[in-house]
Amino acid sequence: MSTIQERLQTDMIAAMKAKEAEKLSTIRMLKTAIMEAKTAKPKDSSVSEDETIEILQRYIKKRRETMETNLKVGRADLNAAEEFEIAVVQGYLPEPISEAELEVIVKAAVASTGAAGPKDMGKVIGAVMPQVKGRAEGNVVSRLVKAALGG
């Protein structure tokens, strides 16, 4: 199984050959974001697969924020490009976890942490996130934890 970074390199070459400008642009942006993370680290260290997943998730989050801004300023017509980029990036992320599976993990975390109410939300989220890293968005986890704690 190849790493995300290897897949990005392979897909970048394929997009160049197929003259897929939009996909190529997105892949280059992702590679740049990964390279920036690598240069921020000590010399001779690389970006791990988990760090790469975090970078891709941040990229998706920025695209979604841009889409919200576009809607607020009446430029929903610009969202098609953002949606395309999100779709490309999601192709490199691990298979998302279903909400039903996530609810089971949340309930187990509530039980294991002994959380009693909304004030323990951080404790439960802290227990859930490492288990679903790269497979569930933080806002979905937060919403399910809040519901499980009666918040």
> What distance lies between CA 68 and its chain's CA centroid?
17
Q: Quote the pLDDT of residue 125.
A: 87
Per-residue pLDDT for 139 more than 70?
A: yes
pLDDT per residue as tens digits for the range 86-124: 999 999 988 888 888 988 998 888 888 887 878 888 888
Query: What letter would DSSP give residue 1?
Result: -
CB count within 10 Å of CB 25 equals 15
Domains of the chain: 4-90 (1.10.1510.10), 99-148 (1.10.10.410)
Largest CA distance in the chain: 57
How does the average pLDDT of the chain come out, rounded? Answer: 89
Query: What letter would DSSP give residue 148?
Result: H
Q: Quote the pLDDT of residue 151.
A: 64
Q: Name the pLDDT band for 135 (thresholds 50, 70, 90).
A: confident
